[in-house]
Structure 1
Amino acid sequence: MAREPSITQEQVSRAAEAIRDSGSKPTARAIRERLGAGSMATVLKFYQAWAEAQVRPSDPPVVLPPPLQKGLLDFVAAEVARSKSELNGELDAANQANEDLIRENERQALVVDNLTSALETAHADKATLAGQLREVEAERDVARQEATAERQAAEAARTELAKALLRLESMPRLEKELDELRQELQQERDARFASEQTAAVAGAKLEGALQAKAAADTAQSRAVDEMTAAREELKAAHALNAQLQADLLAAVRPASAKPMTRKPLKPQTAQKKA
């Protein structure tokens, strides 16, 4: 978009007339210096328009006497010479204005070239920055995804930690229950040992009763009954022992990461075959 001139034709015309009235020859440079604004091209254009408007049409030829014509011719020759001198001065001034205009055009062309180069550099910088911006946005998206994954992993770790803390908090209770089961198992072992001793005593009694069978059938029957009762008591003790072992294993498994396998205890018996 072209810029509007900062001076007008009227300003240039008034400045040229003021210079002419002061007795000086109006020139584009003198007008520009007097105005203090405008480019040389604009001043020269308006000055040429003003100068063309100052030319007056020639008057119709007048027939004069020869002496007067000679005097007039001499006067005209002198005026022509003076006009030539003035025209040469104006031509020099115009040439100087043209040179100034050419220099200014060259300066403006250089400025335009510099601005064009700067604009191309700016476009290149813009493209580079746009590429860097895309890379930064891609890295930002990757960082967001990684942060989301890390947050999810941290949340899962916190959940697992909470579960582990709950399990850890329940460990004393499980250990207490395990101790109680161990005590009960020991009591059952003691009871089983007592039962085995009772069974051994019953076996001894049975053996004595068998030896005395020939003496009394009634004593034999009583001994057989005692032996049967002892066997039933021993069988009940074995069943109770197996139940206690199963209960103990069921209580220990939730508190341990690995399953605990125990071999069933073999009952010690002092029973003798009759």
Structure 2
Amino acid sequence: MSKESYNDLLAFIAVARERSFTRAAAQLGVSQSALSHQIRSLETKMGVRLLTRTTRSVSATEAGERLMHNIAPRFEEIEAELAAVGELADMPAGTIRITASENVAEVVLWPALAKLLPKYPQINVEVSVESRFTDIVAERYDFGVRLGDDLARDMTAVRISPDQRFAIIGSPGYLARRKPPVKPQDLADHDCINLRLMSHGDLYAWELKKGRQQIKVRVEGQLVFNGTRPILHAALAGFGLGYVPEVVARPYIATGQLISVLQDWCPVFTGYHLFYPSRKQLSRAMQVLIDALRYPAERT
């Protein structure tokens, strides 16, 4: 197969993964028309249609799915080996892609990156802020971040934070108008700010725990968001009670801008973990990042 055909295969992989000529072209640094020409050329050479195109979407045909399944891992192995060879240079280098929630990106990742990156100018980090559970293998992330309770068994995980307590918070103004709840059932009488889970589209049921008692509470209110920060801001503005990681609300609780309620029902979850496929070969740059993020109690 000619060198041009290899380039066409790489172009096909990008389009099939992104399901978009626009995003794939931006990723590859080529025009959409040039990318479309590459795909047509590949389909002509192979004598089979690889992609189904509509005005709104792009998807792989059965032949395209088979080709993608079989060749993409080979190219990834080549890329990993080239990166490993490149790591033999004096300074760790390369781009690292991480998916994490807004809270983790702000509270955990950014403080560590702000200290790390000036020391390693050849390391680039791309952080994608998402509230859904992301398949890091399918979407080609190097790392993901989740609470320890949510980790898949086939992943290697490194703790990057202490255990995380959640808090139910409201503004003094709101709680002056409404009787503060003293038991979970009282939340039915309150305006609560809901969280929409992007992974499956449902509203999050507040997970509460006191001793051996555990309960999931479905709450109601005027507002629904898909991220922690908007919930925090709405609570600060007096629109109701929010359920957020305590670390996010702590500065506002300390200044009296927010009040924490039902504290004896707010659970503690296993801390955040950086995770990656167990079979993944780590570059020096990735190892440097892991060491920078590793929670002190985990360091030897």
TM-score by length of 2: 0.16
Based on CA coordinates, which of the two structures has the bigger radius of gyration? 1
Compare relative contact order (CA 8 Å, sep 6+) and give the higher one, 1 or 2.
2
TM-score by length of 1: 0.17
Tell me which protein shows more strand as a share of its residues: 2
Tell me which protein shows more helix as a share of its residues: 1
